[in-house]
A = this chain, B = another copy of it.
Amino acid sequence: MDNTIGIGLLGFGTVGSGVYEHLTRNGNLLRERLGIDLRIERIAVRDPAKERTAPRELFTTDITAVINDPRVRVVVELMGGLREAKTAIEAALRADKVVVTGNKALLAEHGAEIFALSDAMSVPVFFEASTAGGIPIIKAVREAFVANHFLSFHGIINGTSNYILTRMTEAGLDFPTALAEAQARGYAEADPTLDVNGWDAAHKAIILASLAYGTWVRPDGISVEGIDAVSAADIRFARQLGYRVKLIANINAGDQGAISVGVHPTLIPQDHVLASVNGVFNAIAVKGDVVGDALFYGRGAGGGPTASAVLADVADAATALVNRGTPRCSGFRAHGLYGKALPPDAVVSRYYLRLAVDDQPGVLAQVAGALGRNGIGISSALQPEQHDADGRAQLILMLDRARHAQVKSALAEIEALACVKPPAALLRVETFA
């Protein structure tokens, strides 16, 4: 029994160097727990001249040389990007090297092809680090909850957005100020687009949904909204109504014979555990038909949490390789129960609607009329004393469950009313009832 497993690293940024650092520091612990020596044999980087924390002789610019190194049995892809990473992963699978990746954008976009190749070659791809690094949600969905039909997922899976919303809530900041603070503290990148527009969370939701339901959800078939349009006023009104605003990635199996996948700023009841997930932390609430409600909480990003996930995948791969068993399959098994994703317009939700309206009699009747014509009930209304900067009254309505198409249609009518000043603020509401 060969008890050394060689690892090839592709990429040596925050996560790659974290993997090297923690494997070096905790290598003895892993040896004692696994009975296996995990050894990083080769590291591919773009610039070999840069100062690094690992010995210079490990580095090369030649990705193929790392993949084809006969000592390397597990290839860890942490390069990011799409085209080059996809080529590397496919080459590794063809060379019979187990793949570990944290590349969420790649899996969300090309997962179907990559896992088809993985199946064809009988070489597994591990991807715990792709979704909420410090939270072992992939292992939970694939293994711990394997006996469950999944009824729903509600995830806070973008730390940058959650930090910004937390600061807007706690300190009353507006979005630009909270974003600037997040950037100053290193919680948001110089270009925060993918974080604040919801797409980073959407990539993770696509991976989770595909794993849970065995069917690859197309990025262009889901509804994605970020936090860039959330106003401090809505966060304040939501609090008055007993809610917190969170960016929620929601997957629902629902009762319409299909799943729905979406990312939206969403009002969450203040006494729900998700409402107390603050700062850069992530959390994912899962409902299974056997296990009931469960929730996982942890850091979603950063060198440590993501390295922990990568090393767990490497340990699983190495254990299987040493035992000459086939590692548990990727888990993306089509089980035919949920044929397709619902189109976003068909997805049912509760809504929070805020309108700037003329302060005159009859406004509520006109708005309620437009909602009623579209079959939407009002569950509660709030019209605070304070007016907005233009002297208009604020009208906040909590709407009953409705399809998104109904809400869009009603909103078009409402925004066309003379007494309403567009745009309206529209947020989802999740009551978990």
Spell out A's residues near B (CB within 8 Å).
22-23, 26, 28-30, 32-35, 128, 134-136, 139-140, 143-149, 214, 271, 273, 275-277, 281, 288-299, 302, 304-305, 307-309, 311-312, 315-316, 319-320, 323-326, 328-329, 331, 333-337
Contact = CB atoms under 8 A, between A and B. Distances in A.
Contacts of A146: 30, 33-34, 311-312, 315
B291 A134 contact: yes
A319 B337 CA distance: 22
A293 B299 contact: yes
Given A294-B135, A305-B291, A337 B29 contact: yes
A28 to B, nearest CB: 8
A279 to B, nearest CB: 11
Contacts of A32: 214, 333-336
- Most chain B beta-carbon contacts within 10 A, residue among A139, A289, A307, A312: A312
The copy count of this chain in the complex is 2
A296 B299 contact: no
Name which of A297, A315, A320 has the most chain B CB atoms within 10 A of its CB. Answer: A297
B292 A295 contact: no
Given A32-B336, A149-B29, A336-B32, A291 B298 contact: yes
B291 A304 contact: yes
A413 B146 CA distance: 56
Contacts of A329: 35
A210 to B, nearest CB: 13
Given A22-B147, A147-B307, A295-B295, 15 more contacts: A26-B290, A29-B147, A32-B333, A33-B214, A134-B291, A134-B293, A136-B140, A143-B312, A146-B312, A146-B315, A147-B308, A147-B311, A291-B309, A319-B328, A320-B325
A145 B298 CA distance: 12
B147 A312 contact: yes
